[in-house]
């Protein structure tokens, strides 16, 4: 049994959690307790225990103002796809009108570290998981990396949030990459579109699950790979090995696509963090995170490999 009983909520998030739990018809009359999980930078996460079942679940309450950058319907579609392919956890309960999802608790799993992400066995399983997702039926919405960046740029300006002084220059580089990618062409597929290290879960048997599909949408598959390599600071040898694991016949053109996307991933999440600094009530130094991401984007754009990739597609 967990720490807090039903009907004892003291915060808006707890009240929302209890209201949604009360809508789960097959849990009516059962003894439910819950406890906040101090993790995540977008939502309020809880462990929920149902005594009569002897089971613990993971529940997610949508964070404040997250509707400005998360399409909850498409996110649920992506979560369902991840569950049916075995890439993500099983969805135990879903209350559509509340955008409320309850997942089977991943017993024995823990959040990955960067070291885990670079472990050859774990990383290969992530690539295999991505391949399953990318081969799935399209989701109901497409949002390329370019669209994600432009959406956040407009939101940052509208919210009068702190933006990088060289934002116009960074957006010009985004335009350059988009022109090169669109000229080469790609087929949008279901994508994870996230890369934060704690979204990858591993157990002692080195089995993998990918969680938190809120940014799921159709995109270029190589945006997912670039995001993973960006997050774990993969070197050229590691990146090449994992790219071959994902697609055995991948070559210079696929590698160039990833090279071009890497700084754009930094820009996307830098703008996301800038926006969060103005609209989120979750305690986290979003502006410091944004500054680090923009610095990394500038560094990557300044590398000879990035300039060469523009003409290598």
pLDDT at 282: 73
Distance CA 78, CA 214 (A): 8
Which of 104, 120, 155 is the last residue in one of the domains? 104
Contact 274, 286 (CB under 8 A): yes
Quick one: residue 140, left, alpha or beta (phi over 0 = left, psi -120 to 50 = alpha)? alpha
Q: Do residues 51 and 129 share a domain?
A: no
pLDDT at 40: 65
Contact 238, 100 (CB under 8 A): no
Q: How many residues does the chain have?
A: 313
CATH number for the domain spanning 65: value is 3.30.200.20
Q: Do residues 73 and 116 share a domain?
A: no
pLDDT at 69: 75
Q: Do residues 263 and 151 share a domain?
A: yes
Q: Do residues 33 and 75 share a domain?
A: yes
Task: Establish how many alpha carbons lie within 13 A of residue 112's alpha carbon, considering only the half-sphere containing its beta carbon.
Answer: 28
Q: Do residues 169 and 100 share a domain?
A: no
Residue-by-residue DSSP string for 158-227: HHT----TTHHHHHHHHHHHHHHHHHH----EEE-----GGGEEE-TT--EEE---TT-EEE-HHHHHHH
Domains of the chain: total: 2
Q: Do residues 90 and 141 share a domain?
A: no
Distance CA 187, CA 220 (A): 7
pLDDT at 2: 76
Sign of CA dihedral 80, 152, 266, 311: positive
Distance CA 34, CA 267 (A): 37
Which of 104, 137, 158 is the last residue in one of the domains? 104
Mean pLDDT in order along the chain per 10 residues (313 residues)? 88 95 96 89 89 96 77 95 97 95 96 95 96 98 97 94 95 98 96 95 96 96 97 94 95 96 97 89 86 97 96 92
Token pair of 52, please? 């009569």
Q: Do residues 118 and 25 share a domain?
A: no
Which of 104, 134, 163 is the last residue in one of the domains? 104
CATH number for the domain spanning 285: value is 3.90.1200.10
Contact 216, 133 (CB under 8 A): no
Q: Do residues 8 and 119 share a domain?
A: no
pLDDT at 250: 94
Q: Do residues 241 and 260 share a domain?
A: yes
Distance CA 123, CA 114 (A): 11
Distance CA 91, CA 79 (A): 8
Domain containing 256 equals 110-309
In this structure, the number of other CB atoms found within 10 A of the CB of residue 97 comes to 7
Q: Do residues 33 and 146 share a domain?
A: no
Q: Do residues 29 and 91 share a domain?
A: yes
Distance CA 301, CA 173 (A): 8
Bridge partners of 104?
57
Q: Do residues 250 and 119 share a domain?
A: yes
User: Alpha carbon of 223 to those of 194, 217, 259: distances in Å?
Assistant: 9, 11, 10
Question: What are the start-end ranges of the H helices in 31-161?
Answer: 72-85, 114-118, 120-134, 145-159
Phi, then psi, of 11 in degrees rounded to 5: -125, 165
């Amino acid at each position: 049994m967990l720490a807090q009983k039903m009907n004892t909520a003291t915060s808006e998030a707890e009240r929302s959690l209890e209201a949604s739990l009360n809508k789960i018809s097959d849990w009516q009359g059962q003894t439910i307790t819950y406890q906040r999980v101090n993790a995540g930078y977008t939502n309020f996460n809880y462990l929920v225990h149902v005594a009569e079942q002897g089971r613990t679940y993971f529940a997610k309450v949508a964070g404040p103002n997250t509707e400005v950058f998360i399409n909850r319907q498409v996110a649920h579609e992506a979560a369902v796809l991840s569950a049916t392919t075995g890439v993500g956890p099983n969805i135990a309960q879903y209350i559509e009108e509340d955008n409320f999802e309850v997942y089977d608790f991943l017993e024995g799993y823990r959040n990955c570290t960067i070291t885990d992400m670079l472990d050859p066995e774990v990383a290969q399983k992530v690539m295999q998981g991505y391949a399953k997702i990318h081969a799935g039926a399209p989701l109901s919405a497409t949002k390329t990396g370019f669209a994600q960046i432009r959406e956040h740029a407009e939101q940052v300006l509208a919210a009068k949030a702190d933006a990088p002084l060289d934002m116009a220059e960074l957006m010009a580089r985004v335009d350059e990459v988009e022109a090169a990618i669109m000229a080469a062409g790609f087929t949008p597929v279901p994508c994870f579109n996230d890369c934060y290290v704690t979204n990858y879960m591993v157990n002692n048997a080195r089995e993998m699950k990918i969680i938190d599909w809120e940014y799921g949408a159709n995109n270029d598959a190589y945006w997912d790979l670039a995001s993973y390599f960006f997050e774990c600071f993969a070197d050229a040898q590691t990146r090449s090995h994992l790219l071959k694991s994902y697609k055995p016949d991948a070559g210079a053109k696929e590698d160039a696509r990833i090279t071009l996307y890497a700084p754009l991933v930094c820009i996307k999440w830098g703008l996301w963090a800038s926006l969060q600094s103005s609209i989120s009530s979750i305690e986290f130094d979003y502006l410091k995170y944004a500054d680090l991401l923009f610095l990394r984007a500038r560094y990557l754009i300044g590398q000879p490999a990035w300039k060469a990739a523009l003409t290598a597609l």
